[in-house]
Amino acid sequence: MLKLTEDALHLQCRAASKNEAIHIAAAALEKAGYVRPGFVQGMLAREQKVSTYIGAGIAFPHCAKENLDQVIKTGFQVFQFPGGVGWGAGKVVFIMVAVAAIENEHIQVLAAIADLLGDEVKTTLLANAKTKAGFIDLFERA
């Protein structure tokens, strides 16, 4: 089970674009001590290769393999975008789980949120949660 803390949760976020959302995510991962300052370039490179949109209004940005040297330790941050962020190809993201992971540890985080995939009702509830406690309660019941 993925343990989401209030420190790792960012409610009421806004971004005009996918790239802006990724910059917000990288800054939070850096502030939390998971990555070095150049990590954002790895996240943007990964996104250019293959979209990190995983379905049901959720994106899972992480870095390209070539940039793993920017990761200090594995961790994640969760972002709520109530107004949504365009992710390309008609996709809109309401919940973004940004991950910094050593080697393939991001797979463990993805597996922990897999129950959210395909559950657009739960994504909508999370996108509209007004408090961190309410969001965490819904998130952990996934």
Q: Which domains does the chain have, with CATH numbers?
A: 8-140 (3.40.930.10)
Cβ contacts of residue 81 below 8 Å, gap of 6+? 13, 14, 15, 21, 93, 94, 95, 96, 127
Q: Count of CB atoms within 10 A of residue 14's CB?
A: 12
Given this model, what pLDDT does residue 103 score? 76
Cβ contacts of residue 46 below 8 Å, gap of 6+? 52, 61, 62, 63, 64, 67
Listed as ranges, residues in the chain with pLDDT below 50 are none
Q: What is the mean pLDDT of the chain?
A: 90
Given this model, what pLDDT does residue 142 score? 62
